[in-house]
Structure formats: structure tokens, C-alpha cells
Amino acid sequence: MRGAPWLVFLLLVLGPPARAGSPEEAPSPPPEEGEEPGDAAVPTPGAAPDHQTVIQASRPVSPDQTQDQVAVPGERLRESPRPTLLEALAQESASIHVTRRGVGPAGVASGAAGGLTVRGLGGSPNTQVLVVEDGVPDVQGIFGHPLPDAYVPDLIDQAVVVEGGDSVLYGSNAMGAAIVLRSRWLPEDGWEVRSDAAYGSFATLQGTVTALGRKDGWEGAFALHGMRTDGHRDGAGGSVLVIQSAGRLRLAPGWSLVLRNKAVHVTGGDPGTVQHPFTDHTFDVWRDNLSGALEYQRPGLRVTLLPYATLGRHRLHDGFQSLDWTLGGRGEVCWRPHRNWEVLGGVEAQDMDGEVRNRIQGTATDVRAMVDLAAWQQVLWRPVQGLSLVVGSRELYSLRWGFLWLGKAGVRWNFWRGWSVRTRVTRNYRQPTIRELYLPYPVANPDLRPETSLNWDATLGYEDFRHLEVSLTAYRSQARNLIRYFGSWPAAEVVNIDAYTVWGLEGRVRVRDLGPFGATVAGSWQRVGRYTRQNPEAMLDFAATLGHRWGSHRLEGEVSGEWVHGLYMANYRREPIPDPFFLDLAVRYRLEPPGKDWTLEPWLVLRNLMNRKYEYIRGYEMPGFHVLAGLKVGLGG
Amino acid sequence: MDRRMLVALGLWTVAVAGCETGTESATVQIQNDFNNPAVEGFKPPWTICRATYLGVEFGRIGIGETSAPQKVEPGLDYVLMVAAWDDPECHPENCLPIASKNEEEVVDGQTRTIAIGKPSHQGPCPPEGVPPIPETVYNRILELYPEYGFKPYAQRTENTQCLPE
């Protein structure tokens, strides 16, 4: 085994000749700006002679090529053995840690799971990690976090985790990371219906129906997802219902209008620790996100107007009830004046407000709206082939605390035969939440200011574009003005005081299409100082796949797992949790008869194969060995 | 742009990200909050006779009073105290070892007043609503203040002040 590192080194250096540069600099003509998948696949009748080559390409989900990102295709998320989207994303990157407590909904409030930590920032609630869905920041207006149960992969085209965050492009909360989700459309005229139903341990029943269509400039996408489970413990059950719909109309050459809506209903409870279980700590959450987008695009120019609104209602067992709403809009221009330059600029306005009352006591707590305005700019320059430089700036004005400047600068250099190096420094922020400003849980402070962070990272990577992908990243996140609670009632206080620095390393090796074999291993180590609460020192995520196709049949199996080390329930290395480790096995058989427009795909997921006892949250034991079996049926497409 | 410029840019980003400042100290005051009007019901008349937090002595703090500010090294610890029941003069027979209910934290650069009151303390006697003090915390107080002659943890409820009159 002593020769193994040298073998890997030789493989990397003497690997098969790679395409020059990164995908965006491949020798083929660059894709037109603003093209969605398939946008260019259907030439305008009469406009494109037969001999012309039509280039089909996707617009990058995130426009900064110097950032450190993990991009995951929607198909992979849909086939993941993990029960939630956030857990599926965590499997792809060893710097993402997600708290879990079982197969039921992650939930909200005390005892909730779904807490996200990326590169030492985040935590519970996830106010330092932002989720952006089709350009719309998804933030619960009062508590300032995303709703972990609201994300289902049914209509996702691609998910990108921007590690290190990017508040210049995404605004508040993109401090430790931004998770950018893009929904899919059909790439060409036609229709597609997919149904996926499953049943498994703990009376878990889940079903999804998706329907997509495209014809004569009209496009539609619809998904209905439902899940209910008894949970592996009393009080751990719950249900999730997600209804998504979207329509796109091509108004005139270059113009399109999009309307989206997503409604989510989550019910469940906090089962409490195994030592002090609850059966009545229930929650009931409704959420609706509505957005529209008017877009104009022509070669070298794209203009987007995107108004959005979200409305949410949280009801807890103790009488708490909140209604929160966010109204916002953004306008963005992406202009490529020269093939080596790309300029991005935008403006955004957002109003967050809500009301809070106790249904049992009949009391209400007064809160005030948070309004902020922002403008941002990003310039990408490619002085020579293979080299990209990005600088960006966001100017933010809040009616609450005034002016804040954010910025970033990054470089990416594809220097030799698939080898690349990149580095970026970015200044991010998160605004105080309405809860921190006004709600006495246990105390509020209307004078709070935003938290800021200065994040740096650098990556050395290699990709042969066929079989091998390797990267090693060093990062440093330095957060300032952290909002912290001290003391307890009646003398508690919440103030901007703390500072925090985390250093870390993460690496990723991916081998694909080596005959029937593929594998991914991602590992990370970080020095988190005293901030050890749900902020593990080391993580290892791995997956190995084996697939075989014969005729119209395909059989595929995947073993995947995760090991987490240095996990604590409190800061200062208090309340250590034994290293969680588990293995899952997923098996899929796919029947795709030639010439037919239907597919059948029975699948089986065996979770916690070794029936290990482990937990991510102290006292919340994860389920032992359990099973989920399903059948996926596809029509059309 | 040549490679030297790129290296310089990379070093600059590291340098910018690496700037750190910090005094590594915090300023703390301890408040005797046993008369807080927000707390309903009986208010125990504890005078704080001695108090130590993160290794720094804060001295005597009468009911409703606040100690002088002291510099401490940032960290997390219990406030370890000797308190006298209804006795501003702190006679040893009226004293007991008590501690803050939770470990209290201060961070670099912070100025914090830690309030010790009815809901935020723990002690060795078993009055209603006061959590029992852990053995390690109790023993730390005994080590800090041996002159009070408190009984060992196993006999903590037999301290003079604990006994019914």
C-alpha cells in the first residue's frame, strides 16, 4: 500500500489528455447567455437554415466561476437514499453538516432537526446559510431560516452549494453558504409524467407525481409530493405535503414570462430525548411561495425582473402562532460587451414582516417590518484563455441599521491539462431576525446590527472530464459581530459581540464511468475553536456505485455512508456525541423498452445497514435498520 | 497577467482574510439580583459575600448592588459564591456555597453584567425550586473559601444555614 499515493499521483499527472480549459472555455462556441436547457434546441421556424448547428447548453446556476461550488444534478438528488434534500446534498460535500433525528419531518422550533452548518457557519436555526429557489431567497420572515422540509427534489434541475457563501449575489444569510436550486423544464416540445410511490418501515408512505409539458411556446411543470410516517419513536411521526406548479410563456422572440407557486404543509412533533420523551410537542406549518419572472434575452444580454412573495404560518403546541410574509423584487442585467467581459448588475428591495401571538393566552407581541434596498455589481474578465477574474460589490441600505458594504474578488486559472487553481475572498452578512430584534424568547434587542463574515478559500483541482475529478480546498471563515444570547430570564441579553474564526481543509475524489464502477469520497477537517456546537471537526462522505445495462434493462446498486467526528451538543467541547456512522444501500432496476414511451423502475433502499445505534442530536437516537421500497413509473418524455 | 501577479493576488486574499484583532479580555460585573421585581413570589434575601468568576474575585455584593468591573480572560464558567441568608454582615453561620445555575460565558471584548437571582442560582439546601448544586461545583467553592468551614458534599444539607431554626 506504500506505493498507492504515488500511483494516484502518476494517474493524475499522466492521465489522459484533457480538454483545454474548463467547460465554459471548451473550444466549441460559447453558449448564448441566458439559455436554459433546451432553449436553443428549437430554432425559430424559418430563421435557422437546416445546415446550422444548434448548440444546446445550460446557463450556469451561479454566475461566479471563481467560487467553490458543489453542483448536483436533480436526478441524483431524486435517486438519493437520503430521506431529505438537505441530507442528499450533505452526502455530496463533506463540509455540509445536517442535523437529523429520524425519518419524519425535520420540523421547526425546539427539538427540530435540519440544522445546516457549512464551513463552521450556520447552525440551528440556519440563519447563516441561505437557500435560493429559482432566484428567490427562501427565508422564514420572523425566524430568518429556510424550512428544511419544504425542499423536495421532484422538479429540481440542478442544485448548487456555493461553499463560503456569496452575499454580493444572494444577499442576507449567504454567510457560510448559499444553496441555489433551479427547477427544470422540458428541453423540447412534448410531455412527461412521472410517478414515484414508496412504502417502508415505520408505516412510511410517500408518493410523488410530476408532470411537465411544452408546446408552441407554452411550458408547464407540476409536482405533488406527499409523505407521512409514524416515525421510529412515539411522537416522531409527521407528514409533508408539497404542491409545486410553474408556467412559462414565450411572449415574443427573446421575451418570456414565468409564474411559479409552491405550497407546503408540514405537521409533526418534537419527540424529545429518549430520556425525556414528548408526545404532544406538535407543530403545524403552512408556507406558500409565489414568484414571477419577466425575462428578455438576446445574444450577450439578459434582463430579468423577478417579483416574489412568501407567506407562512407556524403553530406550535404551546400556543405560539406566527404569520410571516416577505415581499420583494429584484431586477438583474447580465451584459457581455465583449467575449472576454461579462458585467452583472442588479437592484433588489425586500420587506419582511409578520405578527406573533399566543393562541392560548390571547396575547400578541408587537414586531416591526424590516425593509432593505440593495444594488450589486459583478464583473468577470477573462484576460487570456483559462483565466477568469471576478470582482463584485453589494451596497445595502436597511431602514433599520443603515448602510452596509459587501464585496468579493476571485480568480480561477485552468493552467494545465485539466488542472485548475482558484481562490476567492468574500465579505458576507446576515441581518438580525425579527425574533432577535423584537420577540422576548427569552429576550430581544432592537439595536442589533448585521453579522458579517470574511471568507477565504482556495482550491487545487484536476478533472479529466471523463473518469476522474479531484479537488483539495483550504478555507478560512472569519465572522464578526455575531449575535449571541447571554444569561437567562429575567436578566438575559442578546448582543452583537462575538467573533469567530474557523480554518479547514476539504477534499473530494470522484471516479465515474470506469466500466460499471463509480465512486465518490469527500472528506473534511476543520478547526472550529470553541464553537463546537453541531460543528464537527471532521466528516467523511462516500458512495460507491455499480451498474450494468443489458438491452433495455439496467440494474444499479449504490452503497453510501457518512462518518462524523468531533461532534458536540454544546460549545467549548461540552456534551460530546459519539461519532455517527452509517451505511445505506440503494438498489434500482430500470426497464426502458426501446421504442416505447414508458419506463418502470422498482427500487429498494436499505438504511442503516449495520443497524448501528447513533445520533446527531443528543438524546435523539436515529432509527436502526429500516427499509423503503418503491416503484417509479415514467410516461412520455 | 503573469504568474507572479497571480501569486501576489493569492497572497493578498490570504492576508486580507487573515487579519485578526483581539484583546482577549472581557469586562465583567456581577449583580445581586435577588430583589428583581420581575420575579414573582418570595425573594430569598441572599447577600453575596464572596464571588469568583473565571478565577477573578469580585468581593461582597449586597442585595440590589453590582460589583465593580473586573477584567477576566474570556471563557465559560460558573459564578462561584458564598452567600449569607438575610445577613448583610456575612456571618459564617449564615453562609452557604451557591453558584450560578448555568455556566456563564463572556467573549473577547465583551462588557457584561451577570445577574445572580432567584431563577439563576443553585445551592446545597433543598428549598423549593432551587436546583441542587453539582458536587464538582460545590467542591470548587470549598477549595476557594475554606475559611467558612462548609461541610463536605455528602453532608451539604447539614450546613448550619440549611438546618431549620
Closest CA–CA distance from residue A460 to any residue of chain B (Å): 12
Question: For chain A, how many helices (H) and strands (E)?
Answer: 5, 35
Query: Given B6, B101, B108, which is nearest A413 (Cβ)?
Result: B6
Say if residues A475 and A456 touch (Cβ distance below 8 Å): yes
Contact A491 B13 (CB under 8 A): no
Closest CA–CA distance from residue B45 to any residue of chain A (Å): 17
What are the chain B neighbours of A454 within 8 Å (beta carbons)?
Answer: 16-17, 19
pLDDT greater than 50 at residue A1: no
Per-residue pLDDT, averaged over B149-161, amounts to 89
Say if residues B35 and B118 touch (Cβ distance below 8 Å): no
Say if residues A293 and A258 touch (Cβ distance below 8 Å): yes
Q: If pLDDT is split at 50, 70 and 90, which confidence band does A440 have?
A: confident
Closest CA–CA distance from residue B90 to any residue of chain A (Å): 25
Contacts of A592 (CB under 8 A, 6+ apart): A552, A553, A554, A599
Query: Using alpha carbons only, how large is chain A's radius of gyration in Å?
Result: 24
Cα(A129)–Cα(A86) distance, rounded to whole angstroms?
Answer: 12
Cell numbers for A2: 506504500
Closest CA–CA distance from residue B157 to any residue of chain A (Å): 27
Closest CA–CA distance from residue A69 to any residue of chain B (Å): 18
Q: If pLDDT is split at 50, 70 and 90, which confidence band does A459 have?
A: very high
Secondary structure of residue A519 in the 3-state scheme: strand
Contact B13 A383 (CB under 8 A): no
Contact A487 B10 (CB under 8 A): no
Burial of A221 by CB count in 10 Å (0-12 exposed, 13-18 middle, 19+ buried)? buried
Query: Given B33, B108, B109, which is nearest A491 (Cβ)?
Result: B33
Is any Cβ of chain B less than 8 angstroms from the Cβ of A383?
yes
**Domain boundaries in chain A?**
30-49+57-636
Cα(A338)–Cα(A14) distance, rounded to whole angstroms?
Answer: 36
Query: Given B13, B38, B107, which is nearest A425 (Cβ)?
Result: B13
Contacts of A52 (CB under 8 A, 6+ apart): A43
Tens-digit pLDDT profile for residues A510-557: 999 888 999 999 999 999 999 999 999 999 999 999 999 999 999 999
- State residue B163's pLDDT score: 73
What are the chain A neighbours of B36 within 8 Å (beta carbons)?
Answer: 490-491
What's this model's pTM, rounded to 2 decimal places? 0.87
Chain A, window 548-577: residues with a beta carbon less than 8 angstroms from a chain B beta carbon: 571-572
Cell numbers for A636: 412520455
Cell numbers for A108: 421547526
Amino acid at B43: K
What are the chain B neighbours of A484 within 8 Å (beta carbons)?
Answer: 107
- State residue B8's pLDDT score: 63
Tell me if ipTM is over 0.95.
no
Contact B117 A490 (CB under 8 A): yes
Closest-CA residue to A112 (of A316, A352, A276): A316
- State residue A36's pLDDT score: 39
End-to-end CA distance of chain B: 87
Contact B10 A411 (CB under 8 A): yes
The HSE-up count of residue A108 (CA atoms within 13 Å, CB side) is 27
Percentage of the residues of chain A whose pLDDT score is greater than 70: 90
Contact B39 A490 (CB under 8 A): yes
Q: If pLDDT is split at 50, 70 and 90, which confidence band does B126 have?
A: confident
What are the chain A neighbours of B39 within 8 Å (beta carbons)?
Answer: 490
Per-residue pLDDT, averaged over A422-448, amounts to 92
Query: Given A489, A490, A498, which is nearest B107 (Cβ)?
Result: A498
Contact B17 A425 (CB under 8 A): yes
Contact B10 A458 (CB under 8 A): yes
Tens-digit pLDDT profile for residues A264-278: 999 999 999 988 998
Compute the count of residue pairs across chains A and B with CB atoms less than 8 Å apart: 79
Best interface-test mutation with B: which of A423, A484, A533, A573 has the largest number of B CBs within 10 A? A423
Cα(A313)–Cα(A323) distance, rounded to whole angstroms?
Answer: 5
What ranges in A431-472 are assigned the alpha helix state H?
Answer: 434-438
What residues form DSSP beta bridges with A607?
Answer: A626
3-class DSSP string for B28-69: EEEEECCCCCCCCCCCCCEEEEEEEECCEECCCECCCCECCC
Contact B107 A497 (CB under 8 A): yes
- State residue A19's pLDDT score: 33
What DSSP letter does each residue of chain B carry, written as one string?
A: --HHHHHHHHHHHHHHHH-------EEEEEEE-TT-TTS-S----EEEEEEEETTEE---B-TT-BPPPEEE-SEEEPEEEEEEET-TT--GGGEEEEEESS-EEE-TT-EEEEEE-GGGEEBSS--TT-PBPPHHHHHHHHHH-GGG-PPPGGGGGGSGGGS--
Query: Given A486, A491, A497, which is nearest B109 (Cβ)?
Result: A497
Cell 478560512 locates to: A476
- State residue B9's pLDDT score: 56
What are the chain A neighbours of B18 within 8 Å (beta carbons)?
Answer: 456, 476
What are the chain B neighbours of A493 within 8 Å (beta carbons)?
Answer: 112
Which option is the CATH number for A30-49+57-636: 3.30.465.10, 3.30.230.10, 3.20.20.220, 2.40.170.20? Answer: 2.40.170.20
What residues form DSSP beta bridges with A225?
Answer: A208, A242
- State residue A144's pLDDT score: 87
Is any Cβ of chain B less than 8 angstroms from the Cβ of A440?
no
Closest CA–CA distance from residue A464 to any residue of chain B (Å): 23
Tell me which of A389 and B2 has the higher pLDDT: A389
The rounded mean pLDDT for chain A is: 88
pLDDT greater than 80 at residue A11: no
Tens-digit pLDDT profile for residues B32-75: 999 999 888 888 899 999 999 999 999 999 999 999 999 999 99
Residues in chain B: 165
pLDDT greater than 50 at residue A306: yes
Tens-digit pLDDT profile for residues A78-91: 999 998 999 999 99
Closest CA–CA distance from residue A52 to any residue of chain B (Å): 37
Per-residue pLDDT, averaged over A576-586, amounts to 96
Closest CA–CA distance from residue A512 to any residue of chain B (Å): 32
pLDDT greater than 80 at residue A608: yes
- State residue A29's pLDDT score: 32
